[in-house]
Amino acid sequence: MTVLMVSDGIAPERVGGSYRYLREVCIALAARGHECHVVVPQARQDAPLEEHGVDGVAIHRVPDPPGPRLLRFGRRPRQIAHRVTALVEKVKPEVLGLHWAYLASALPAVRVARICFFYGPWGAEFAARHGEHRPGIRLLAGAMTRCERRVVSGCEAAIVLSRYSAQQLCGLHGIPRDRIHVVPPGVDLAHFAPSPERQRVRRALGLPSTATLAVAVRRLDRRTGVELLLRAVHAVNLLPRDLHLVIVGRGPDAARVQRLRCSLGLEESVTLAGFVEESVLPRYYQAADVSMMPSVALEGFGLATIESLACGTPVIGTQVGATPEILT
């Protein structure tokens, strides 16, 4: 079988759970003898436009059209559509896997089965990230939701990562439940594994050796609850406790998180590690006594939860989205 995926990125050149999921799905398909192609925008100028990796996955990168950033964004779906149309003629895929509604919105009608990969509601996540009460945000979020509905409704089937996301897809877009398939992500147990030498790992990372150490691997935006977690650490540290929090990740709210840490006087109690390469990420789970998942909205899965558990580190999470589904 030949599969053609369409996404706004793929790991490792794009960071995020959905991009890693796409990569692992493609590698698994190739390992089973299927021909797997992925069309993505060119994330870096030095990235080759055509790449046939040793893992059997062919990546076709589409350069952005010239012009200002907003204009490039607006033209991107048609650029992607041209490349997809050419590949459909060339490789004759049996399946089109669509990983982002916006890029799929301009695809022409072709006689190929379409499967939507639904990671979460695009419009609702945008509103949660930018503040739904800000002028114009609700309007934009509504347009995103309608775009997503058109794409998802035109697919023969949908793949989601959790039962929670399946319920979202049914409720938001009216997709029949029998067209939705739950395919949770997995973890590379050779990479994410416990370490018998926690103190040595802490020393290597420059983290406190005696404190109770909590780690949160999170994108820094409103939805993921990082600010809530900082306020919780502040409250705990008013008690005679020795708690240290490490936040791993980056995002649009990085500056605000930094300001809040300072205003709460948590410079000595909270380490902002920023972006961490995947090769190093398991060490943070191995160093910690506990992992935190403080999501406040729309947690479609939370790859960090199962990564931490694979490293032998327990997880405390809010009862939001798919987190209870994983932990119970």
Does residue 192 form part of some domain?
no
Does residue 187 form part of some domain?
no
Does residue 63 form part of some domain?
yes
The SS3 of residue 180 is strand
Helix H or strand E segment including 245: strand 243-248
How many structural domains comprise the chain? 2
Does residue 191 form part of some domain?
no
Whether residue 202 is found in the same domain as residue 172? no
Does residue 142 form part of some domain?
yes
Whether residue 175 is found in the same domain as residue 211? no
In tens digits, what is the pLDDT along the chain, a chain of 328 residues? 999 999 999 988 888 889 999 999 999 999 999 999 999 999 888 889 999 987 899 999 999 878 888 888 888 999 999 999 999 999 999 999 999 999 998 898 888 999 999 999 999 999 988 877 777 888 999 999 999 999 999 999 999 999 999 999 999 999 999 999 999 999 999 999 999 999 999 999 999 999 999 999 999 998 999 999 999 999 988 765 789 999 999 999 999 999 999 999 999 999 999 999 999 999 999 999 999 999 999 999 999 999 999 999 999 999 999 999 999 8
Judge if pTM exceeds 0.75. yes
Whether residue 13 is found in the same domain as residue 154? yes
Task: Pinpoint the alpha helices (H) of 174-270.
Answer: 198-205, 226-236, 254-263
Does residue 119 form part of some domain?
yes
Whether residue 48 is found in the same domain as residue 75? yes
- Of 250, 287, 242, which is closest to residue 268 (Cα–Cα)? 242
Whether residue 99 is found in the same domain as residue 211? no
Whether residue 128 is found in the same domain as residue 239? no
Residue that terminates a domain, selected from 149, 182, 215: 182
Q: What is the CATH number of the domain that holds 166?
A: 3.40.50.2000
Task: Please tell me the predicted confidence (pLDDT) of residue 92.
Answer: 96
Residue that terminates a domain, selected from 156, 182, 208: 182
Whether residue 81 is found in the same domain as residue 133? yes
What the block records as the tokens of 199 is 């103190």
Residue that terminates a domain, selected from 115, 148, 182: 182
Task: Please tell me the predicted confidence (pLDDT) of residue 300.
Answer: 94
Whether residue 176 is found in the same domain as residue 260? no
Does residue 188 form part of some domain?
no
User: 290-321: b or e for each residue (b if 16 or more CB lie within 10 Å)?
Assistant: ebbbbbbbbbbbbbbbbbbbbbebebebbebb
Q: What ranges make up the beta strands (E) of 67-134?
A: 95-98, 113-118
- Asked if residues 318 and 296 have their Cβ atoms less than 8 Å apart, the reply is yes
Residue showing tokens 């990082």? 226
Whether residue 14 is found in the same domain as residue 150? yes
Whether residue 204 is found in the same domain as residue 171? no
Whether residue 170 is found in the same domain as residue 37? yes
Task: Please tell me the predicted confidence (pLDDT) of residue 240.
Answer: 59
Does residue 85 form part of some domain?
yes
Domain housing 80: 2-182
Whether residue 21 is found in the same domain as residue 141? yes
